[in-house]
Amino acid sequence: MFTGTLFALAAGLMWGLVFVGPLLLPEYPATLQSFGRYLAFGLIALPLAWFDRSTLRQLTRADWREALRLALVGNVVYYLFLASAIQRAGGPLPTMIIGTLPVVIAITANLRGHRAGTRREQPLRWSQLAPSLGLIALGIALVNHVEIERLKAEPGADLGSYVLGAALAVGAVACWTWYPIRNAEWLRAHPERSPRGWATAQGLATLPLALVGYAFTWAWFALSGSPFVMPFGPRVADFLLLMFAIGLLASWLGTLCWNEASQRLPPTVAGQLIVFETLSALAYAFVLRGQWPATETLAGVVLLVAGVLWALRARPVPETADAHPN
């Protein structure tokens, strides 16, 4: 539990960086940022594949199909929704909507129950989940209230853009509710497989998706007469540096840390630890703003952390004596 929690914390610190990219490159379309990030991730995975070649050779055709599905939904589509949401609604609102993931994933994982081939554990009782979920939900609500009031005070705020941004963020939540549960089921069904090799496999699966998406984006700009300068936009060095930094830290290293956590923690607990991503994203956002969070925001953060600590007290019990240990 302790080691898995540390890996989840590291993943959250890395994933919080993805909320910064759209704010640093506001003039870049979300499609280009999404496909650019995962094109960088795929290129980074190519040399890493040499070190993981023995693990990759063990993967079956079905495993590669699963890696492709995870790459499409959990990487490309998720970040396309998220980057679009941030550009339309700003950083705080999508961050707080994504912040509901610990609650949504924990409930979904508990309802989903056991899947064939994974370690069988008794579902957590709702009475065990309720306190931590309640604390996390209350913390998110407090932080949300502060940010929404701040948005209302901004002159000339485009309500329609905020609503669309919120809807896109909900789509991102749907993608990332499916991804960690499905990813954890594969990892827990294959405890002998390397989490690092599985992260690299997802990077390799992402590469053709990103290449096709980048090519279609370039073609669309050309056919529509868009003034946007391709292939790398007006700030070439900034774009390339940011895409490769996020591709390495958030995509590969973050996925590696999350895979390590997923092999050690049950999905109902691991899902709640995604709160680390929300906390990191909030911290980075306030650093960019150059201001200290409001008292209500800090109270919400304290409740989020308290909910995570409470969640770690709820440990599922294996239903069979020979179940693989956490």
pLDDT per residue as tens digits for the range 208-261? 999 999 999 999 998 988 889 888 989 999 999 999 999 889 888 888 898 888
Number of domains the chain is built from: 1
Cα–Cα–Cα angle for 23, 27, 28, rounded to 5 degrees: 90
Percentage of the chain exceeding pLDDT 90: 25
Residue type, 139: G
Q: What ranges in 16-77 are assigned the alpha helix state H?
A: 21-24, 30-51, 53-57, 61-70
Q: What is the pLDDT of residues 178-219, one digit of tens each?
A: 998 888 888 888 888 888 888 889 889 999 999 999 999 999
Q: What would the mean pLDDT of 92-102 be, rounded to a whole number?
A: 78
Range of the domain at 129: 2-311
Identity (one letter) of the amino acid at 210?
A: A
Q: Which of 239, 219, 192, 247 is nearest to 71 (CA)?
A: 247
**pLDDT the model gives residue 106:** 73
C-alpha distances in angstroms, 292 versus 24, 89, 150, 247, 283?
A: 20, 21, 14, 29, 9
* Pair of tokens at residue 319: 């239903």
Looking at every residue in the chain, the average pLDDT score rounds to 82
For residues 65 and 19, give the distance between their C-alpha atoms in angstroms, rounded to a whole number. 28
Q: What are the backbone dihedrals phi and psi of residue 121, each rounded to the nearest 5 degrees, phi first?
A: -130, 150
Give this prediction's pTM. 0.78
Q: Is residue 269 part of a domain?
A: yes
With respect to residue 192, please indicate whether it lies within any of the assigned structural domains. yes
d(CA 181, CA 210): 23
- Report if residue 320 sits inside a domain: no
Q: Is residue 194 part of a domain?
A: yes
Residue 114: pLDDT band (50, 70, 90) is low
Among 57-66, 140-149, 217-226, the least confident range: 140-149
Confidence band for 316, pLDDT divided at 50, 70 and 90: low
Rounded Cα distance between 199 and 182, Å, is 14
- pLDDT band for position 150 (cuts 50, 70, 90): confident
256 located within any domain:
yes
**Predicted confidence (pLDDT) at residue 2 exceeds the cutoff of 90:** no
What does the alpha-carbon distance between residue 14 and residue 257 come to, in Å, rounded to a whole number? 9
Residue 53 falls within a domain, yes or no?
A: yes
Mean pLDDT score, 82-111: 79
